[in-house]
Amino acid sequence: MMDDRNALYSQETFARAVEFVWREAEMLDRRDYRAWLDLWDPTGVYVVPIDPTATDFSATLNYVYDDRDMREKRVQRMLSGYSASASDAARTVRTMSRFTRESGSTETLELKSAQVVAAYKRGATTLFAADVTHQLRIDTEGDIRIAAKVVRLIDSTEALSAIGFLL
């Protein structure tokens, strides 16, 4: 049986993690990509796999498989104004819901959720739905960083057009 202090810590940590993911979603909708980069653990990976069952992302083809360097380059392209994704970026509003805690300790937490992004570009609104897994690291001061983010689009095996925003 879990003692009350661990249960309280667990509930508090879960609530902080959910708030962290909501804050990340708001940053992405505001296109505050530099602040978004600061949310990451230096060793973290951002993945949007094609295969809905993939687990070994380094050995499979992905829409996105970004380490720190690639995340920074992607953000630079999006903020430069010299790429298609930057010059005609979609405006987005995303909803994060159905949060579940998959595993965790005092140093890590794996949080799963559902995400729906409404993207408006060139007079058309497109929906992107996904199951999202955040692996979060919690340091000794209680700060949370993203160790991994996997965005599994529900239609990942279909062609994905240039979306001009981060999932």
Residues 59-118 have pLDDT tens digits of 999 999 999 999 999 999 888 866 555 556 789 999 999 999 988 677 889 999 999 999
Structural domain span for residue 28: 4-153
Indicate whether 41 pLDDT > 70. yes
Name which residue leads in pLDDT, 33 or 106: 33
142: left (phi over 0), alpha (psi -120 to 50) or beta: left
Which residues have a Cβ under 8 Å from the Cβ of 2 and sit 6 or more positions away? Answer: 10
Please tell me the predicted confidence (pLDDT) of residue 141: 87
Which residues have a Cβ under 8 Å from the Cβ of 35 and sit 6 or more positions away? Answer: 27
Name which residue leads in pLDDT, 105 or 135: 135
Please tell me the predicted confidence (pLDDT) of residue 83: 57
Whether 166 is covered by a domain: the verdict is no
Whether 159 is covered by a domain: the verdict is no
**Phi, psi for 129 (deg, rounded to 5):** -115, 145
Whether 81 is covered by a domain: the verdict is yes
Mean pLDDT of 122-135: 94
Mean pLDDT of the chain: 88
The rounded radius of gyration (Å) of the Cα atoms in the chain is 16
Name which residue leads in pLDDT, 165 or 137: 137
**Phi, psi for 53 (deg, rounded to 5):** -105, 0
Whether 24 is covered by a domain: the verdict is yes
Whether 31 is covered by a domain: the verdict is yes
Please tell me the predicted confidence (pLDDT) of residue 162: 66
Distances (CA, A) of 1 to 5, 6, 7, 14, 74: 12, 10, 10, 19, 46
Whether 163 is covered by a domain: the verdict is no
Q: How many domains does the chain have?
A: 1
Whether 109 is covered by a domain: the verdict is yes
